[in-house]
Structure 1
Amino acid sequence: MNALEYFRTHLKYEKNPKIKEAITQKFTEYLRRAEEIRSVLDDGGGSGPAADGDAAVAARPKTKPKDGERGGDDTDQAKLRAGLTSAIITEKPNVKWNDVAGLESAKQALQEAVILPVKFPQFFTGKRRPWRAFLLYGPPGTGKSYLAKAVATEAESTFFSISSSDLVSKWMGESEKLVANLFQMARENAPSIIFVDEIDSLCGQRGEGNESEASRRIKTELLVQMQGVGNNDQKVLVLAATNTPYALDQAIRRRFDKRIYIPLPDVKARQHMFKVHLGDTPHNLRESDFEYLARHTEGFSGSDIAVCVKDVLFEPVRKAQDAMHFYKTSNGMWLPCEPRHPGAIQTTLQDLAAEGLADKILPPPIARADFDKVLARQRPTVSKADLEVHERFTKEFGEEG
């Protein structure tokens, strides 16, 4: 009960909600156990034959670990690990390799590193070793994180999705312990993948004027752990993504044996993206329409196309809201139409809903004109200057994805 009081005091000052939740869970568990022990003692369990049993063992006072012994260290480590547990992806994101348009060489390299070593370990004998660290870089919205989701779905591995907030702590020395514990957990749960999104926020250039002591120590620990992973041939893959590869510390950059440029999608990839994002939404677009859209979206990133399609998906809803004429289909559903359409009746969405037909109204299928309307007002988000920076980095340090 005295120990639980320490827990209660710590809870008042703990700011991290993940750690707070883990401590609360343990607090409840230990409180229940303490009540069980108390009830055994109150029933006289300490003096009868049962005193030799489990209750006596539980009730026997334990010696307090002295300073320097491992008692306090284990508690600290459990606390750090509790915070990192939430970074493990337990539910697959449901993004398949085929959902990722283009990027064939990037997908092939990741399959060599992630899928083949687990399914065909006999391939990797002698000096042939799978890749151990990947850096995906490129303009924003080109699919770096999306590719990581595909890896998480397809890989039969433990997937850790890490951001800077998971590894940065206000307590002196705790951040590097978090990094060390992360890699230790990854080794224990091998085969595993550590995905660090926006790695530039953790691993900027060392020696810059605004670099803090904590930031430098995190980078040092990360360097040590990544080098250890490579040397010991543990089944741990480090996968990182960044929009600003030049901002990375050069030692960190060297640790990534594969640096893959994820460029803007080409014509074929854009065509595939339009199809993927439309999915099974009713539309009357033909193959030639998709080719037309791909040709007219030069310079668009995958994210730009996703936003474009999302906007287009609302066009039929807007038509239904603004329509003044509807017609009834053979299966009893109402669709908006032009006044000259056969069977057109002058009414509005609200009038049909007032008549109790709200669940019988359908928006019209998506047409190419809807895309033309949206594309007339949308612009690509990646500038030529951004592209030049990434292409220069690729010539110096990277390879095409």
Structure 2
Amino acid sequence: MSVIGEERVRGAGGMFVEISADDQDTQPTEIESLCMNCYQNGITRLLLTKIPFFREIIISSFSCPHCHWNNTEIQSAGRIQEQGVSYTLKIKSKQDMNREVVKTDSATTRIPELDFEIPAFTQKGSLSTIEGLLNRAVAGLQQDQPVRRATDPDVAGKIEQFIQRLNKLKDVEEEFTLIIDDPSGNSFVENPFAPQKDQSLSVSFYKRSPEQNAALGIQDTDPMSEEKPGNDLETMRNEVLVFNTNCPECNAPASTNMKLVQIPHFKEVIIMATNCDSCGHRTNEVKSGGATEEMGTKITLHLTDVTDMSRDLLKSETCSVLIPELEFELGMAALGGKFTTLEGLLKDIKDLVVMKNPFICGDSSSTDTSEKLELFGKKIDKIMAGEMDVHIILDDPAGNSYLQNVYAPDDDPEMKTEKYTRTFEQNEELGLNDMKTEGYGETQN
């Protein structure tokens, strides 16, 4: 490894350095390696960098001075998310073809109307558009067509017909559905109506299967399941458990603290906090310490004073956040579980929708989208300053979310809590429809 490479790895910025056109000192790491074409020694250049609002990547370029063979690859170095993600997009017009898409190499792409599928790990990750994905699929099918026409004309003819059908989709003569399913959770599909909800796009998060974990190269283990002396419930209430992990920002080794906490007038929750000594990043996440409630909970708070910003708030992974006056809806699992204040939740929403939106920066940005999101951010600031009269709604089908009642044990005149029966679809998302809890294990005669 070169001296420059060592400085980049050990520098204060972490292993991955952001790409900058003004950075003239950015140099790749050079490694002598074997050429697989002529079996002489060549040079591999590695650049560990970070694409703004995307992921960390490793750019590798090999060149051989003997046979002049070259090869360039881009590999994802990003963190695998805790849940997989599936995007289902109804494409209805030519404008939808311009939606930008981040597709990782672990994502599966499907078009049900054509019974067409691009399996995971058959293509490298890309930042493209819907039209770009179709062009890439067409190029892949056309690659071996000359050989097929010579060896198997019938198959070549059928593939040519299929290519024509794919090309027709780009003209959007009829509606079709595009599904991107990524177990790593690192793929994205643009919502051009942000911060409003996109009626044509549905996003769902799911727990990976053991087979998917194996395909991603991770082990399906749970730190809570490891047997440790004195690791019973009472011990957990009185101590902070610590386990090793990686920082979600710079991927450096970090530690996560976990504690079981009793929230007054509510229930027990598990708080997990990660602190990175390398880049200073801090994050916290909350898991419910109890079972799924029999009924869902909907909490509506009318903000009447700036002091409401200091109310404690528990948002579970299954909770949606709505602000009707802004026509804003944040789906479940978008921010994960959080134990914070109302002001902290609003700041996180602003960061997610405005500051960390991957489609309003650089070449991906459009004037209309940037202006709408900037206006949305200003409205969030007004809400936090108590200058805007709005309602905050926490809708949790699992019933595991909480908003502090400052008048407890009396009723809060500005807050309404409703219990409701979950729909079949909500039970399906929570995995309750196939769960057998009564008579389990009984012997059938």
Judge same fold: TM > 0.5, yes or no.
no
Rg larger for = 1
| Structure of higher RCO (CA pairs closer than 8 Å, 6+ residues apart) | 1
Question: Which structure: greater strand fraction?
Answer: 2
Q: TM-score, normalised by structure 1?
A: 0.26
